[in-house]
Amino acid sequence: MLGLMQDWPLLVHKIIDHAAQNHGDREVVTRSVEGPIHRTNYREIAVRARKVAEALDRLGLKEGDRIATLAWNTWRHLETWYGITGMGGVYHTLNPRLFPDQLIYIANHAEDKVIFFDITFASLVEQIAPKLPKVELYIAMTDAAHLAEMTKKSGANIPNLVAYEEFIAGSSGTYEWKQLDEKAACGLCYTSGTTGNPKGVLYSHRSNMLHAMMCAQTDAQAVCSRDSILPVVPMFHANAWGLAFSAPMVGAKLVMPGPKLDGASVCELLTTERVTMTAAVPTVWLTALQYMDQNNISLPHLNRVMIGGSACPRSMIETFEKKYNVQVIHAWGMTEMSPLGTIGTLKHHVAELPHDKQMDYKVKQGHPVFGVEMKITDDDNNELPRDGKAFGRLKVRGPAIVKGYFRGEGTDAFDDDGWFDTGDVATIDSESYMTITDRSKDVIKSGGEWISSIEIENIAVGHPAVAEAAVIGVRHPKWDERPLLIVVKKPGAAVTREDILEYLKGKIAKWWMPDDVQFVADIPHTATGKIQKTTLREQFHAYRLPTAAE
Amino acid sequence: MLGLMQDWPLLVHKIIDHAAQNHGDREVVTRSVEGPIHRTNYREIAVRARKVAEALDRLGLKEGDRIATLAWNTWRHLETWYGITGMGGVYHTLNPRLFPDQLIYIANHAEDKVIFFDITFASLVEQIAPKLPKVELYIAMTDAAHLAEMTKKSGANIPNLVAYEEFIAGSSGTYEWKQLDEKAACGLCYTSGTTGNPKGVLYSHRSNMLHAMMCAQTDAQAVCSRDSILPVVPMFHANAWGLAFSAPMVGAKLVMPGPKLDGASVCELLTTERVTMTAAVPTVWLTALQYMDQNNISLPHLNRVMIGGSACPRSMIETFEKKYNVQVIHAWGMTEMSPLGTIGTLKHHVAELPHDKQMDYKVKQGHPVFGVEMKITDDDNNELPRDGKAFGRLKVRGPAIVKGYFRGEGTDAFDDDGWFDTGDVATIDSESYMTITDRSKDVIKSGGEWISSIEIENIAVGHPAVAEAAVIGVRHPKWDERPLLIVVKKPGAAVTREDILEYLKGKIAKWWMPDDVQFVADIPHTATGKIQKTTLREQFHAYRLPTAAE
């Protein structure tokens, strides 16, 4: 049966080629690491990406080799990604916010051969370089003059060092992209992971391309050629949520913030570059909204902002929508999912609800885009009802979702049917709006039923005397686990165990009632401000519940 | 290097599963062939599609078997497509507008084993059935009562006949979709072709899926879950421009017009079903706009209309936009391209132009969506400049573009690099807006240069005495070919050869000037209203140009 359709492997360099050919004049604007605003376009970026590829090829790098970047969102970082993937390499984004020891572990685990870095990170690179025996070349993402200036100023001593502009200077820009299998590796990103070593997620050309096409849907990022897009979310954070691929795919203008992610800098770009769409975690918007408020800034061009990484507070959504007339797209995803999972764009029946009812949906994590399958199960992998009430382990499947971690680690996250266990506990309603209720390692398993630690915490902090609350499961001879509520009182507040329990009554199910309340001076947090429950559990290791008398 | 992303083959039944699970309540509304409005939803359609699959499987049909449909856009047709593809079969859309002999040729060439048909086409089926030895079963897409009534009324005698509802009645609806390779055949559609026999385009699961994802982009169909979509374009016409896949992919409501495509019927659905997006060829809108005008109809819900199949006149775009506040998305594609090629959504620099300048772009065929590569070449396959002036053979490449016709026919349309020659002649400007200037078999090749027959025709019909004009190339001893202008005068108009040539002067290049003008009583047309140049060339076979004296 001859016939059928063309072989056209899904290779990410086709994205930059499409942009160069069909949207060649479209701008890529960067607040450069060196300081000034830098302007280029997709036509030039495609040529320079070929130069990067040619120079890497000349170095003797081979298909599948990992090449790291330790860099902000800039046009050079974009060129580097496309250049690396076009010569068959694997771009490996290093997160500069990690501790040097973590970076050393990750770069060695990945066996990075080259590290591209922004000069902001020179002293960090100097610090880790002696421990990275596999790295053959360090490329400072600047020109020779700025590199010399930086070296003089910082005194940083980095071996095998070359300036980016010199590295690519000898190349013609006519390099022919490698012909690759679409399932070839293309990118690598490590998940920070609250326990154990970071684990690598290895993206393929196919997964990145399909993910970009999923992002480009109107109910996802809705990116189009008329957009001016500011990805505040870094390229080293879960692929910049796909924007480094989806924006050139549709010919949108890209506005790259470089190293400055403070409120004033972000707001300035939003205005001067007439940004229509932007994306970042809630903490960025917390400071940006404060700045806007203090400086009476309006956002006439911006029409939507994508917020994810952690849950977006209701008040933030309302401020954006009511005060600035900017639509919030609340999204949820994971490094393991490329990262897009669910998206909070309004489904038709929600769009017809009154504003406050809509808000009840907007604070949820959203519904899955096409290409993401989602289910919740109990511990025995039995699927739970999609009724918005039952909560269980959230499992996902799709073409842009990890099949296994790099080098075969963390196999317990995958089941035989190919579902990946997200480690989150969630509800799904009948129309597929998903709400995360807990992390699966924090949920309390009491007599075969699950209790959401987060829900009790959210209610407990409503008590006027409570500054912060955390709930952990504590061993119980009869129920396996029972909830213990740990409370930090507000300064000067007088409140008893009984007051708190009384306050909870009627607000949560009877069997969810904590068996005890313990007051502490403070609760430990992670670097990103989340409650560090592993540490809490260690602190309360010797604690016995009053109800646990055997 | 373990790791990488999940195997998740691109199989079209995943689209209906996604719709059923995440947009289960979303309606599919049909003006049924039997008469009344019929309402169902994606949840029910997915179940009934499984029943179709189960019943076909029980018949003994195998993977790759072709199963024809001769049907309007209805919910049953949708179920049939998904059911066929989910059991590994190939849906083959028969175009009821073809002559019986063509249908017989096509169904035999495809070796269709089953034909699903709407009862509207009973007498057509009766007529062709005796000539279709491979067809084992005819399924009338209705229930037993309506089938009996139809048979009684029409007296049609069709062998091996069963009603659709009876055919699927014995199935459970829990059929498990076949596990297929994503490159497996999935659909088949024949191009009508002005010369030679129709040729088959065999779509794969992968090509249909990628095409649907291309369609779902904001700069393409921009379909989303809040849309109510009326595909007036039939499913037997180039996959209903992908809407039967892209609409369920995003959870849009589908409004199926059934057999009634007249202005009144279309307008009624636009209003009662609050249609936000619709799609059809210009001739449909010609009658619909007339109806709207005569009946003072407004379109408060509709926000965009996709128009393709043939060039959309400027006046039609203006009427939709100015009078009805409806955006026109002018698109170009081919059966061989699944069909989406280019789309006239505004690029950023066009969106900033004044209205009349925008119109100059809106009448063009548009720019290619991601997934379509496009170039123009001369006869020797040398690429021509993208300057909006040079015109050449339009060639395309992409994952949803045909690699070869069914059974290996028409190989001359493909070059060694995998480009498909569209048979069109076009210009491409620097920002990739493409304009079709001619069919390559109609372009006039004079002294190595090309002359666009269509451009001369468009100018000639501007003469007040000209009712219709056609230009064909006629043999010339020195220049190979020279243009001959053939004119139908308006009733009662007196105009000479010299008047017409004088009128053309200054409006076209000197060397484009026709060598002669011939007046005729009428010009032959194809069934779809296009000028039949093959017939014209035959009529003027013996004609000698006055300039051709040897």
For position B126, which CATH number holds? 3.40.50.12780
Query: In this structure, are B386 and B490 located in the same domain?
Result: no
Question: Tens place of pLDDT for every residue, chain B, 550 residues?
Answer: 556 899 999 999 999 999 999 999 999 999 999 999 999 999 999 999 999 999 999 999 999 999 999 999 999 999 999 999 999 999 999 999 888 999 999 999 999 999 999 999 999 999 999 999 999 999 999 999 999 999 998 888 999 999 999 999 999 999 999 999 999 999 999 987 656 789 999 999 999 999 999 999 999 999 999 999 999 999 999 899 999 999 999 999 999 999 999 999 999 999 999 999 999 999 899 999 999 999 999 999 999 999 998 888 899 999 999 999 999 999 999 999 999 999 999 999 999 999 999 999 999 999 999 999 999 999 899 999 999 999 999 999 999 999 999 998 877 788 878 899 999 999 999 989 999 998 888 999 898 888 989 889 989 988 999 999 999 999 999 889 999 999 999 999 989 999 999 999 999 989 999 999 999 999 998 766 778 888 999 999 999 998 887 5
Final residue belonging to a domain, choices A158, A184, A205? A205
Final residue belonging to a domain, choices A173, A205, A237? A205
Question: Is B347 near chain A, with CB under 8 Å?
Answer: yes
Between B26, B202, B397, which is nearest A8 by CB? Answer: B397
Closest to B371 in 3D by CA, of A22, A32, A270, A389: A22
Q: Given the structure tokens 């079963």, which residue do they identify?
A: B137
* Residue type, position B142, single letter: T
Q: Which residues in chain B touch residue A406, judged by CB atoms under 8 angstroms apart?
A: 1-3
Contact between B4 and A407 using a beta-carbon 8 Å cutoff? no
Question: Is B258 near chain A, with CB under 8 Å?
Answer: no
Question: Is B343 near chain A, with CB under 8 Å?
Answer: no
Distance, in Å, from the CA atom of B392 to the CA atom of B395, rounded to the nearest integer, reads 9
Structure tokens at B368: 């290619």
Final residue belonging to a domain, choices A205, A230, A250? A205
Parallel, antiparallel, or unpaired for β A66-70 and A90-93?
Answer: parallel
Report the DSSP beta bridge partners of residue A5: B402
Confidence class for position A84, pLDDT limits 50, 70, 90:
very high
Residues B432, A24 contacting (CB under 8 angstroms): no
Query: In this structure, are B456 and B474 located in the same domain?
Result: yes
Residue B379 DSSP symbol: T
Concatenated DSSP letters of A99-148? -HHHHHHHHHHHT-SEEEE-GGGHHHHHHHGGG-TT--EEEESS-HHHHH
Closest residue on chain A to B402 (Cα): A5
Angle at A104 between CA A103 and CA A106, to 5 degrees: 65
Residues B267, B296 contacting (CB under 8 angstroms): no
Structure tokens at A191: 């998940």
- Residue A81 annotated to the active site: no
Choose, from A120, A191, A271, A319, the residue flagged as catalytic: A191
Q: Is B231 inside any structural domain?
A: no
The range of the structural domain enclosing residue B534 comes to 444-549
Beta carbons within 10 angstroms of residue A533's beta carbon? 21
Query: In this structure, are A456 and A380 located in the same domain?
Result: no
Q: Is B265 inside any structural domain?
A: no
Confidence class for position A454, pLDDT limits 50, 70, 90:
confident
A178 to chain B, closest Cα gap in Å: 16
Query: In this structure, are B37 and B165 located in the same domain?
Result: yes
Whether A3 shows a pLDDT value over 70: the answer reads no
Distance, in Å, from the CA atom of B436 to the CA atom of B445, rounded to the nearest integer, reads 17
What confidence score (pLDDT) does residue B414 get? 84
Report the DSSP beta bridge partners of residue B44: none
If one counts the domains in chain A, the total is 3
Contact between A403 and B4 using a beta-carbon 8 Å cutoff? yes
* Residue type, position B439, single letter: R
- Residue A512 annotated to the active site: no
Query: In this structure, are A57 and A192 located in the same domain?
Result: yes
For B378, residues 6+ apart whose C-beta sits below 8 A from its C-beta are B384, B392, B393
Question: Is B94 near chain A, with CB under 8 Å?
Answer: no
Beta carbons within 10 angstroms of residue B350's beta carbon? 20
Q: Is the dihedral of CA A380, A382, A386, A390 positive or negative?
A: negative
Contact between A1 and B185 using a beta-carbon 8 Å cutoff? yes
Residues B237, B216 contacting (CB under 8 angstroms): no
Structure tokens at A535: 């540490």
Q: Is A507 inside any structural domain?
A: yes
Contact between A250 and B401 using a beta-carbon 8 Å cutoff? no
Domain harbouring A420, CATH code: 2.30.38.10
Q: Is A309 inside any structural domain?
A: no
* Residue type, position B298, single letter: S
**Which strand ranges, in their side-by-side order, compose the sheet holding A90-93?**
A161-163, A137-140, A114-117, A66-70, A90-93, A185-191, A199-204
Q: Which residues in chain A touch residue B406, judged by CB atoms under 8 angstroms apart?
A: 1-3
Report the 3 state secondary structure along B401-467. CECCCHHHCCHHHECCCCCEEEEEEEEECCCCCEEEEEECCCCEEECCEEECHHHHHHHHCCCCCEE
- Burial of A416 by CB count in 10 Å (0-12 exposed, 13-18 middle, 19+ buried)? exposed
A157 to chain B, closest Cα gap in Å: 33
Distance, in Å, from the CA atom of B212 to the CA atom of A336, rounded to the nearest integer, reads 25
Query: In this structure, are B496 and B466 located in the same domain?
Result: yes
Distance, in Å, from the CA atom of A258 to the CA atom of A269, rounded to the nearest integer, reads 11
Query: In this structure, are A429 and A487 located in the same domain?
Result: no
Residues B224, B258 contacting (CB under 8 angstroms): no
Distance, in Å, from the CA atom of B280 to the CA atom of B262, rounded to the nearest integer, reads 12
**Which SS3 state, helix, strand or coil, does residue B261 take?**
coil
What confidence score (pLDDT) does residue A409 get? 82
Q: Is B267 inside any structural domain?
A: no
Whether A550 shows a pLDDT value over 60: the answer reads no
Confidence class for position A527, pLDDT limits 50, 70, 90:
low
Interval A314-337: pLDDT, tens: 999 999 999 999 999 999 999 999
Report the DSSP beta bridge partners of residue B531: B525
End-to-end CA distance of chain A: 74
A538 to chain B, closest Cα gap in Å: 33
Q: Given the structure tokens 């057999």, which residue do they identify?
A: B259
For B518, residues 6+ apart whose C-beta sits below 8 A from its C-beta are B484, B485, B486, B487, B540, B543
**Which SS3 state, helix, strand or coil, does residue A34 take?**
coil
The residue length of chain B stands at: 550
Find the helix or strand (DSSP H, E) in which A317 lies.
Answer: helix A314-318
Distance, in Å, from the CA atom of A5 to the CA atom of A261, rounded to the nearest integer, reads 45
Q: Is A420 inside any structural domain?
A: yes
- Residue B336 annotated to the active site: yes
Mutual orientation of helices A243-250 and A205-215 as an angle, nearest 10°? 70
Q: Which residues in chain A touch residue B432, judged by CB atoms under 8 angstroms apart?
A: 21-23
Closest residue on chain A to B211 (Cα): A213
Question: Is A350 near chain B, with CB under 8 Å?
Answer: no
What confidence score (pLDDT) does residue B550 get? 54
Between B3, B7, B206, which is nearest A200 by CB? Answer: B3
Query: In this structure, are B385 and B453 located in the same domain?
Result: no
**Distances in whole angstroms, Cα of residue A344 to Cα of each of A215, A367, B103, B109, B142:** 13, 6, 48, 48, 40
Question: Is B289 near chain A, with CB under 8 Å?
Answer: no
For B448, residues 6+ apart whose C-beta sits below 8 A from its C-beta are none
Distance, in Å, from the CA atom of A457 to the CA atom of A462, rounded to the nearest integer, reads 9
What confidence score (pLDDT) does residue A310 get? 83
Report the DSSP beta bridge partners of residue A373: A397
Contact between B348 and A4 using a beta-carbon 8 Å cutoff? no
Contact between A6 and B397 using a beta-carbon 8 Å cutoff? yes
Q: Which residues in chain B touch residue A214, judged by CB atoms under 8 angstroms apart?
A: 213
Parallel, antiparallel, or unpaired for β A373-377 and A367-368?
Answer: unpaired
Between B251, B345, B431, which is nearest A347 by CB? Answer: B251
Q: Given the structure tokens 């489904």, which residue do they identify?
A: A347
Pinpoint the alpha helices (H) of A37-74.
42-58
For A81, residues 6+ apart whose C-beta sits below 8 A from its C-beta are A49, A69, A91, A187, A235, A244
Query: In this structure, are B18 and B93 located in the same domain?
Result: yes
What confidence score (pLDDT) does residue A525 get? 83
Query: In this structure, are A79 and A182 located in the same domain?
Result: yes
Contact between A24 and B222 using a beta-carbon 8 Å cutoff? no
Between A204, A214, A371, which is nearest B4 by CB? Answer: A204
Interval A251-286: pLDDT, tens: 999 999 999 999 999 999 999 999 999 999 998 999
Contact between B3 and A217 using a beta-carbon 8 Å cutoff? no
Q: Which residues in chain B touch residue A370, judged by CB atoms under 8 angstroms apart?
A: 15, 18, 213, 216, 249-250
* Residue type, position A91, single letter: Y
Concatenated DSSP letters of B162-223? EEHHHHHHT--S-PPPP---TTSEEEEEEE--SSSS-EEEEEEHHHHHHHHHHHTBTTTT--
Distance, in Å, from the CA atom of B298 to the CA atom of A128, rounded to the nearest integer, reads 68
Range ranked top by mean pLDDT from A58-72, A402-416, A536-550: A58-72
Query: In this structure, are B52 and B153 located in the same domain?
Result: yes
Residue B228 dihedral angles phi and psi, to the nearest 5°: -120, 115
* Residue type, position A70, single letter: L
What confidence score (pLDDT) does residue B3 get? 62
Question: Is B225 near chain A, with CB under 8 Å?
Answer: yes
Distance, in Å, from the CA atom of B12 to the CA atom of B53, rounded to the nearest integer, reads 13
* Residue type, position A141, single letter: M
Q: Is A495 inside any structural domain?
A: yes
Q: Is A45 inside any structural domain?
A: yes
- Burial of B524 by CB count in 10 Å (0-12 exposed, 13-18 middle, 19+ buried)? middle
Residues 300-329 of B with CB under 8 A from A: none
Between A549 and A176, whose confidence is greater?
Answer: A176
Contacts A–B by Cβ distance under 8 A: 225
Residues A77, A69 contacting (CB under 8 angstroms): yes
Structure tokens at A68: 């790291």
- Residue A450 annotated to the active site: yes
Residues B495, B465 contacting (CB under 8 angstroms): yes
* Residue type, position B162, single letter: V
Contact between B8 and A367 using a beta-carbon 8 Å cutoff? no
Query: In this structure, are A393 and A506 located in the same domain?
Result: no
Residues 153-192 of A with CB under 8 A from B: 183, 185
Confidence class for position A1, pLDDT limits 50, 70, 90:
low
